[in-house]
Each structure stands twice: as C-alpha cells, then as structure tokens.
A and B are shown apart, each in its own frame.
Chain A
Amino acid sequence: MTSREKILAAVQANQPDLTALPDLSGFDGQAFGSLAQFAEVLTAVGGKIFHVANYAAIIKIILAQYGSGVRIVTQLEELKKLTRDNLESLSQIHDLHDVEVAIIAARFGVAENGAVWITEEEMQHRVVPFIAQHLAVIIHEDAIVPTMHQAYDRIANTTYNFGTFIAGPSKTADIEQSLVIGAHGPRSMTVFVLKNS
C-alpha cells in the first residue's frame, strides 16, 4: 500500500458524516465598499494613494519621487518612457535584483483591506512586485469591490498561473511587535487611482 492509498483509506474510514457547506450570499459587503474606504485602509497599512487623471500625471509623480536615474520596470505601454528594461526579453530573473521601482496594473482593489489583486500576466515575472525596492500599482477608480467575497466573485473562474493580493509595503513586527516597513519586499507601495476618462 502506498502512503497515498494509506492516507486516503484512513481518511475515508475516519471522517464524519457529510455536513453541508454554508450559504455565503448574506455577506453582501454592504458595510463596505467605497473608494474613500479603500484609500483609508491602504494608508493605515502603510500604503500611499494618489488620485490621478491620466498616465502623464503618474509619470510626473514617479519622477518626482524617485528621479530618472534609478531602474524602473513596467509592462505598461503608457509608461514605457520610464523604463529601459524590456521584461519580456529578460534572460535571468535574478537580474532584477537592483530594480528600484516596479509599476504594475492591478485588476481591482478591495475596500475592506486596501489590497489589490495582481496576476502574473500583469507582473510579467512573478518576482517583480516583491524584489523591487518600491512598488507602484495602478487601478481604475471604479475597480473597487467592498470585501473579499466580492473580490472572489470578481475573480470567479478566471485563469491565472499566479495571482496575489498585495496590501501595502512589505512589513514585519517580529521584533517586539515594533512595526518595521520594508522587510524583504518593497519598502513602499503607492497606488495610483486612475479617474475614468
């Protein structure tokens, strides 16, 4: 008997009678939902938020914050002038070790926790939003859902190889519960909320 068969047989023998799954439709997120709340929570978890009218405004803010001398990576056509990298033709992901800023489009944000949902498609390489010293994310102002329930309604059966919710900069409180921003991932997270044109 393989371990697989052993485990499955033991589970089958020991598990209790089938119980029903709960109905989740009551979690309608009515107490949550606004962009203002998203901004408030994101700020509380250490993120920064800018409401911008267009990509030109984003470029201006990025350059003002980080200058033009640092390595910036992005997949976004509209921001191509900020980067000298072509992530698609990168030979070795480890070459990303000195990226200062990564700018990535997110699918949507979640009001209750300030998180944004990003999949590998937007990242090009999975490590990008983690290895950069600073992360910038762009979402559309109408792409805010109230809670994680609506977040998964929105994700539904979409396909992705890798996807992640990111809520603020990397952080730790492992040393005496003192909050330190910038553990292993980005030291800052900026979210640009793009107004509908």
Chain B
Amino acid sequence: MADRTLPIPGSLDATRLRDAALLEWLHSWVVTVDHKKLGILYVLYAVFFLLVAGTEAMCIRIQLVVPNNHFLSPELFNEFFTMHGTTMVFLVGMTIIFGIGNYLVPLMIGARDMAFPRLNAFSFWLSASGGLFLYFSFIGGFGLYGMGSAPDITWWAYAPLTEKPFTPGHNTDYWALSLIVMGFGTLGAAINTIATAFSMRCKGMTLMRMPLFVWLMVVTSGLTLITITPLTAAQIMLVIDRYLGAHFFDAQAGGAPIVWMHFFWIFGHPEVYVLILPAFGIASEVIPVFSRKAIFGYPAMVAASVGIAFVSTTVWAHHMFTVGMTSVGNTFFVLSTMMVGIPTGIKIFNWIATMWGGKIRFATPMLFCTAFLFQFLCAGLTGIMLGVAPWNWQLHNSYFVIAHFHYTLTGSFLFCIFAAFYYWYPKVTGRMLSEKLGKWHFWLFFIGFHLTFDTMHFVGMLGMPRSIYTYEADRGWSTLNFWISMGGLIQAIAVLIFAWNLIRSYLDGKEAGNDPWDAWTLEWSVPSPPPAYNFADDPVVRSRRPLWDLKHPDDPDWKYEQ
C-alpha cells in the first residue's frame, strides 16, 4: 500500500491507470466551477428526479384508478404523494430553474462566468446532497412499516402531525433536515444570480436591455431570498420542537399549529412564483423569436414581473381561508390574491400582442409556449375562483385545487421547461433535438395533460378531497378517476419519448451550428457548445437584441427602442 501512488487526477506525476481518462472526466465534473457544467449538472439531476417523482405520481394514479383499490398500502400511498410533491417542488422545480439560469445568465449578459464560481459549485452540491438525503429516507431510518420511513406528512407538513407524539419515526426529520440543506443551496444560487446580473453585464447592456429571462431570474432570486428564509426558520423550529423540547407548534403543550401554517405559506405561496417567473422568462425569449417580432411592451413586462413578486408576498393566507380567520382577514387576502391577476393579465396580453402580426413558426419550443399561454390563462382563472374565499371553503383541499396548481406547475411551468429544452438543447450539446419525436412528445403530453387535469376540476367539485388513498364506489367519482389515470399514462409515455429524444439526439442529432433558430440574444453568437471562456472578446451591445442589430444593420433596434 505504502509505495503505491494514488492516481490523483490532474497531478503531473500520477501513475496513469487504464481508466484514468474516465476518472479524470468524472473528476472534472465533480470539481468544476464552470457555470455551464454546473448548469448541466443541475438539469440532469432535475430530470432524474422528474422521472422519479413521475413514477410516484403514476403509482398514485394506479392506486386511484378504481375505488377500493389495494395496489398501495395507505402508508405507502401517503409516502408517495408526500414525496411526489416535495420532489417536484424542491428537487425538480428549484434545481431546474437554477440549472437553466446558471447556464444562460452569463451567456445572455455577455459574461465569462457567474460572479462567484466557487459559491456556485458549493450551492449545487448542497442542493444535490439535500435531495439524496431526502431519498435516503426510503431505506435509511427505521420505520414502523418495514420500509424505512420516507416522509408521509404531506408536502405542507402541517403541525402537530409532524410533532413527536404523532410521527415518532424519523420521517419528519429527513424531510425537515433535507429541506434545510437544500434551502441553503438555493440561497447561494439566488445570491449568485443577483450578483451576476447586477455586476457582470457586458458593455452597453443596461438593466433595461437585459434579456427578459435574465430579468425574471433576478426577480425569482430576490423572491427566493425572501421565501426560503421563513421556511428554513420553520424547519429549524420544528426540529427543536422534536428534539430539544420546545413547543412552537406542539398544541398539546400550548403551541400554535396556526403559526406553522403562516410560516409555511409565507414561503409556500411566493414559491409558486419562484417557479413560474423563470417560466415566464423562457416564454418571453421563445415567443418573440418564433413570432419573428420584438417582445411587445418590454418595460411593462419588467414592471409586471417585479409587481407580481411584490404582490405575491402578501397573499399567503389564501391557503388558509378554512382555518377560521376573521371576516376582515379573509377579505384582505381575497383582495391581495385578486390583485395578482392584474400584472399576470398584462403579461398574457403582451405575449399575445407579440404574436400579433408576426409570422409564427410552430416548431416544438413554440408549440409548448403556445400551450403554456392557453393553460396559464386557465390556471389564472381557476386561481381567481379559488381566491373567492367562500368558494374556496368548498374547493380548498379538493381535487379542484390539485387541478389548479398542476395547471400552473405542469401546464405552465413544465411546458415552458420543455420549451426551454427544445430551444436551448442545440446550444448546450451542439445537436438539434429531433423535431419528429418532439412533436410526438408535445401532442401526447398535451392530450394526456388535459385528460388528467381538466377532469380533476370536476371530480373536485363533486366533493373528492385530496390526499385520500381510497374512495367508495358509490360516490360518483369512479369514471372520472379512471380517465384521470389514463391521462397520466399518456403523459408518462410522452415523458419517456422526451427522455429518449434527449439521449438519441445527443448521439446522432442534426448539427446545430451557432444559431439554429435565427435568434437575437448573445448566447447564439457563440459556438454550440460554447467554449469554456464563453466569449473570445467581450461583446458590446446597443439594444435588447444585439444579434438583430448585426443581422439588420440598416434597421437596428436601438433606433426604435423606448
């Protein structure tokens, strides 16, 4: 042992082993501080957990396909829907936006990397270990049911169910601790994004010339700083309750479960916007390029984004209309909730106005963005319905709510993420994704999505609550649940096609070139994939669409922009 030299990758005197190349390659990914590599790591990690959480969703749907089914035990069902929600929000949603942001923000503002490359790597590995830690709970701690103790406390984890007397195992601990770790990772990524956008922009790129995607990442990061903080505080209080004898939320010793709800939803509602704002950013990049027009009302789009972020911090208790607030309290949150409709309305109108008068090419990214517009419109309208407090007393915690937030998180957020994949995959890999598979993916996912989530609205109105592992045959929900599950199956097939497309196109996709979409932002001016240093020369811009100016020297944007 003593005389053997360990092959430290990169060190000059290391003995080269047969698989040293592979080791070095792996090592380069582990120690990388390059924003592009970290972005890819984030995204791959998110795609992996998208498949995991999707599998959990399919198990949930198999269990509910017929009444009184015994596919899953109640315990496992509760674990699966808790893990589905937690995974999709924290391990898929949060990581994928910061992954895409990581990759694109420096490229879009003409920078060579993020402001703090080491913090960037640290943030990723924190988030990644948090996620692995969460999933270790399936096999890790001892549980009552012989299969570890994955959290089965719902993703909103209301106290006092999470307190020691009611969950004596370790499920809540895994949930709380992994979210604390991931939370710190997310905070690092958010600080980095803000610092990068504010201090690394290339010459000529004023704040009002930043691509909208970068603006939305800045707003989302700001919102992240506001929202992750109370979540982390609440998790720490919960752990103190469980192990150090405090009684923050423990009703049996005089604590207040309502306080947990406030903490959780002060995080939880803005969190929805943390996820959806980058999706807006993606739509604001894709829609203009495929409509062949500049974004309509850029200043209003920026103002609306900032406005949404501000208003979104005042609406949290609309998740709590049923906890017995006073009439005045309820009325306040009705008003603040409905106010969100104004800036989001502006955004929808501006996107439609961008398409108006254009020459729209319906390539796969644009298909996803168009469907996003339609579904986001529906999500906004059902959001208004849920914001009407008395109606919320009926709809709250029913399948109508599930339908509504899947319209935002799947129908809007995930559709935009898919658009981003088809749009920027050529930049990242140098290869186009297959359009044929892309169209299959889109149409199957679109049909499956509507079959599942449109139907859920109705079964919710017929009185079916969420979080139930079984239901009686005579409640009138059976047929609808059958179709909901069938829709889920179609979506699952579509996602598999997508995963296959990612792999196949990487191996033998069409060469992309620098600028396959004839686009206008800076990332398309560099080779695909971009070199480690991004830009050989620091770019200088004079408008929001530097590549438009290059392509149309006689008719540049800077002459017209407000």
Query: Do they bind each other?
Result: no
